[in-house]
Amino acid sequence: MHIVANYVQNARDATAIEDIAVDLFYKPYLQKAKGKPDSFLTAISRWTRQPTNGLVIAYEGNDVVGFSMHGPLSAGNRRLYKDAGSDPTLDDREVALIGVRPGLQGNQIGKQLLKATQEEAVSFHAPNLYAVCLEGKAGASYKLFSKQGFGELMTHDGIAYGKPGTIVRKHLA
């Protein structure tokens, strides 16, 4: 497995990332309310083309097995993090989505993606990196983030696709 910190380079990678995102985020959390994933996929595709955003990809051979997207805080999340008691700077960044292909989770891929994401955030001169962990403190993502030094700011019902989410933050050196 190798990690590449880069923007989407070709259509094949973009499609693989979209497939993983649909399986991990759209189907379990959004499909019931929204039907087809078109607007979700359009948002991802637009998001990855913004030069201020960053995309880290995990490959097994030529296959995409996971990805992480990070960027400046969205306006909504900036408010959320303020409500959680923090005072985000304009240079702070957030992990917008991080996911490992179902069936391959639990193999340290997420760990390596998050490490590379932090390195990228440092290269963007971000003082802090934020994330909202799905399923609150019981979820796999909180385990992943807390083991890499992210601290809980707040856990609240309904902030992660209408379910409990835990806001975490790490000060980057």
Nearer residue to ligand COA within complex by CB, 53 or 107: 107
121 interacts with ligand COA by CB under 6 A? no
Closest CB 99 distance from ligand COA, rounded Å: 4
Q: Which is nearer to ligand COA, 98 or 126 (CB)?
A: 98
| Closest alpha carbon to 110 in 100, 119, 101 | 100
Stretch that binds ligand COA, among 8-16, 37-45, 76-84, 96-104 (CB under 6 A): 96-104
Distance in angstroms (rounded) separating the CA atoms of residues 134 and 141: 6
Quote the least distance from Cβ 128 to ligand COA, whole Å.
16
In the complex, the smallest distance separating the C-beta of residue 173 from ligand COA, rounded to whole angstroms, is 20
Give the residue, chosen from 42, 108, 149, 151, that forms a contact with ligand COA under the rule CB under 6 A. 108
By CB under 6 A, is residue 117 in contact with ligand COA?
no
Give buried/exposed letters for 37-63 (b at 16+ CB in 10 A, else e).
beebbeebeeebeeeebbbbbbbeeee
Residue 103 touching ligand COA (CB under 6 A): no
Q: Say if residues 92 and 84 touch (Cβ distance below 8 Å).
A: no
The span from the CA of 13 to the CA of 62, in Å, is 9
Closest to ligand COA by CB, 27 vs 147, is: 147
d(C-alpha 41, C-alpha 22), whole Å: 8
Please list the residues that pair with 56 across neighbouring strands: 5, 68
Binding mask 23-52 for ligand COA (x = CB under 6 A): -x----------------------------
Enumerate binding residues for ligand COA (CB under 6 A). 24, 98-100, 105-111, 131, 133-134, 139-141, 143-144, 147
